[in-house]
Structure 1
Amino acid sequence: MKKHAIMLVGSLFALSISVVAQNPKFAPVRTDIPMGGKLSPKEEEPVFAICSKQGMRVLVSRDDGKNWKQTFLATDSREDGGWHGNYSVYGMAYTEGVIGVFSGWGTPGIYIGSDDGVNWSHLNKESAKLGSVWGAAGGKGVMLTGADQWQGITSSSDTHANWRKHSLKDLLDGGKTHHVICGFGDFKGGRFLAIGDNRQVFVSDDLCKSWKHSRIPEGVDRGQEAIAYGNNVFVCSFKDKAARSLDGGVTWTLHDHGVKSASWRGLSFVNGEFWLTGRNGGGRRSKDGATWEDLPAETPAGRFAQSPNGTIINVARFRYDVKRSTDGKNWETVFTAPASA
């Protein structure tokens, strides 16, 4: 598969075989899905793929976002996948023809993948207790998930069949962090970032083989929402501030973004700009992460992904539809979840 546009759906609607006891309220871990290590991506047509926050419901479009088809559903349980659960999805990632969907918060992580958007398997080759997931990213054939100071961060091999845990204890040197989100940017050949509570930043310039520690300046503490990369700039969104790095995540500055009430994880890089949307739509945009101006009021809330030909797809938490635009100004609802979903 040549290209994918991947995003996390807020609320549009344990594929590792866990060896720990399961909360009876959570849906049972799926054991009928093949184990990983057999993905073989091919160059085909571009696709968009989105996933629900709860239940791991995956929708795919193969016609530039016009029509959508459900290709996977982990569970339809309404008891699993709110804030916690086996199928509480907090991350999607794409790299070199492979889509990854990552769930499990308050439980071991569940990592599934596909090389065509239709057939899904475990990413891990063998049963393993994988790290919980608060965020995920992919780039240069590697995927990364983030959790907290106890579980650290977890990266994949280039086949995604094997996963390695990276402890944050030594890097923190007595510090604390939680709710670690992840990002990737093609900065000087590829740079992975993981950002957690208390302004803690972890940077890898060798595709997750080793990590260095940095800090965002005082002025924010918790509430890191999303990481986006573009124009050789990394931006991480907070409630009132945008943290910006011009050197691949090593040093940071803070800037007012001007969005009074931002969408959940509502930061994206679209049309050569960073877009940060408000909960009720509109928001602010910036080319450099420092100077922000208003987005058009009709810009929908949520986050965005853009295809190679410029088509933009939008989803948002607490909204049960998918919107599409070819110019970033006019938006059409192209999918609405049925009431039973």
Structure 2
Amino acid sequence: MNHVYLLFVRMILIGGLLSCVSTSLHAQWKQCSGSFVGEVTCFTGNSTLLYVGTSTSGIYRSTDDGANWSQVNQGLTDQKVHALAMIGSIVFAGTDFDGLFRSPDSGATWTVANEGRIHLLNIDVHSMVTRENLLFAGSIGGGVSRSIDLAENWTPVNTKLGNEYVHSLGLLGSKLFAGTEGGVSRSNDNGVSWEAANTGLPNTPTYVTSFAVSGTTIFAGTSDSGVFRSNDNGDTWEEANGGLPTKNITSMTAIGSTIFAGSRDAGVFLSSDNGNNWAPFTTGLQHLNITSLYAKGSTLYAGTALASVWKYEKITSVSESENTAQDILITPNPAGTSFTITGIDGANHLELINSIGMTIRAWNVESSVCTLDVAGVPAGVYSLRISTATGMRHTPIVVMH
């Protein structure tokens, strides 16, 4: 209870700024068509193409943002795909047994790309990230490899990595992060050397499944300890699990300042306050075993263990401070089962909006003072949207029971 109250006080102290997620009023998850087989393990794409990798049936491509899909496996001898990435128009696929593949023609054909000082053949390539013309591949048992020539040649970059079972890779500015079965390692020189970056992470056996970046903050999702964040380039980490009912995080991504976490069997969760608090983001989502998340513009895609792809469109992080209603009084605030609002002269339409932009309650009022019922509304921080003939205003309200 004190945590929720302090969060409210902090919002007031910064001038009533309420950061939230703006979506279409009736927006919800929608399932994409496509006859996928196996878990949907990964995504990549550009402005015109979207790709997914699966655990048993290779790679699928969509040219219309997921409305239709075609299987593109010619030359792909290993169809258990763990990772996808793109540099320009070239697509890369990391597989379970046959290493890494490359396609120069939008997935129409694939060729093995495993050469160099290290052969990625027979290595499970589990993650990839790109920076300009650099391609990094993380593997289970083989550590991190780097290519500077679009996967023509590979070089191992594992000095002081510590643990060569790499499940995830992430980038924050010039820093490269590797999520291993021993925690997090960080490189400041494109993998030439590594150092442990585990301060604040749990000592219990865990591994980092995914990274997400928002501004200067990097988030790490773990297999059994939830979400951690670092505001100092990985020097220290702190737990960021407020409101998360599960600690098994499979994937993470961000759209602006809004962070998303996919979980095993509990769906997708959203945070609009830098990971302090999380809320379910599952309206319309029928498959809750999330295996991958991918953000493309303002659209969020989710892959599931039940061979399905889902998307949620028109997500934007917004600041509503310009229209914050400073002259409106709400008492009590935090509210219990009801609250009284004063200072809304004339006819008004009021809406109680949650952290993902959904209307929880709505009222039409004509009095300047009115008492409104919030019994049954889940405890949390909300925005009260006040619509009049002259415009729209917002004011924060906390519900506590």
Q: Indicate the TM-score class for this superposition, using the shorter chain for normalisation.
A: 0.5 to 0.7
Question: CA offsets, 1:124-182, max 9 Å, x none?
Answer: 3x74444331222234333222125x5120122153323221135x5337x98632123
Q: Which residue of 2 aligns with 1:288?
A: 233
SS at match of 2:124: coil
TM-score, normalised relative to structure 1: 0.63
Q: Which runs of 5+ in 2 are unaligned?
A: 1-21, 289-305, 307-401
1:142 aligned to 2:90? yes
The answer (yes or no) to whether the contact 1:262–1:283 under 8 Å persists in 2 is no
In structure 2, the CA distance between the partners of 1:314 and 1:218, relative to structure 1 (3 Å rule), is closer
Q: 1:270 aligns with which of 170, 193, 214?
A: 214
Amino acid at match of 2:129: F
Q: Measured at CA, do residues 151 and 338 of structure 1 come closer, stay the same or move farther in structure 2, by a change above 3 Å?
A: closer
Give 1:235 shift: 0.5
Task: Give the distance between the partners of 2:193 and 2:207, measured in 1 at CA.
Answer: 26
Which residue in the other structure is 2:50 paired with? Answer: 99
Please provide the CA RMSD for this pair. Answer: 3.4
- Name the residue aligned to 2:268: 322
Residue type of the alignment partner of 1:322: V
Give the direction of change, closer, same or farther, for the CA distance of 1:331–1:198 in structure 2 (3 Å limit): closer
1:232 is matched with which residue: 171, 174, 181?
A: 174
Provide the rounded CA distance (Å) in 1 between the counterparts of 2:99 and 2:195.
25
Q: 1:163 and 2:110 equivalent?
A: yes
| Secondary structure of the corresponding residue to residue 330 of structure 1 | coil
Distance across 1 between alignment mates of 2:58 and 2:25: 29
Equivalent position amino acid for 1:269 in 2:
V
What secondary structure sits across from 1:135 in the alignment? strand
The structure where strand makes up a greater share of residues is: 2
* Aligned 8 A contact 1:268 1:304 in 2: yes
1:195 equivalent in structure 2 = 138
Q: Read off the aligned partner of 1:115 and give its amino acid letter.
A: T
Amino acid at match of 1:292: T
Mapped contact 2:139–2:167 kept (Cα < 8 A): no
Return the letter of the residue paired with 2:58. Answer: I
Distance in 1, matches of 2:23 and 2:126, equals 29
| Equivalent residue letter for 1:327 | D
Q: Is the 1:183–1:193 Cα contact (8 Å) retained in structure 2?
A: yes
- The superposition leaves residues 259-315 of structure 1 with CA deviations (integer Å, 9 ceiling, x where unpaired) of 3454661332233222123435343425423x122133317442322224x333221
Aligned to 2:31: 70
**Number of corresponding residues:** 258
For residue 152 of structure 1, what is the aligned residue in structure 2?
99
CA offsets 1:244-272 (integer angstroms, 9 cap, x no match): 22222333223325234546613322332
Q: How does 1:8-87 map to 2 (within 5 A)?
A: 66-74=27-35, 86-87=37-38
Deviation of the 1:111 alpha carbon? 0.7
Q: Which amino acid aligns with 2:42?
A: G
CA contact (8 A) 2:183 2:207 kept: no
Distance 1:176 1:129, change over 3 A: closer
Q: Is the 8 Å Cα contact of residues 124 and 140 (structure 2) preserved in structure 1?
A: yes
Match 2:196 to one of 254, 262, 281: 254
Separation in structure 1 between the aligned mates of residue 286 and residue 95 of structure 2, nearest angstrom? 32
Change over 3 Å in CA distance of 1:205–1:98 after alignment to 2: same
How many Å separate the matches in 2 of 1:313 and 1:120?
25
TM-superposition CA deviations, 1:202-228 (whole Å, max 9, x none): 212233343333324263143x22111
Tell me the residue number matched to 2:64: 116
The 1:247–1:120 alpha-carbon spacing in structure 2 relative to 1, beyond 3 Å, is farther
Report the CA distance between 1:238 and its aligned residue.
1.4
Q: AA paired with 1:248?
A: N
Change (3 A) 1:236 1:64: farther
Between the aligned partners of 1:62 and 1:157, the Cα distance in structure 2 is 36
Q: Flag the structure with larger Rg.
A: 2
Partners of 1:182 and 1:206 in 2: CA distance: 18
Identity percentage of aligned residues:
17
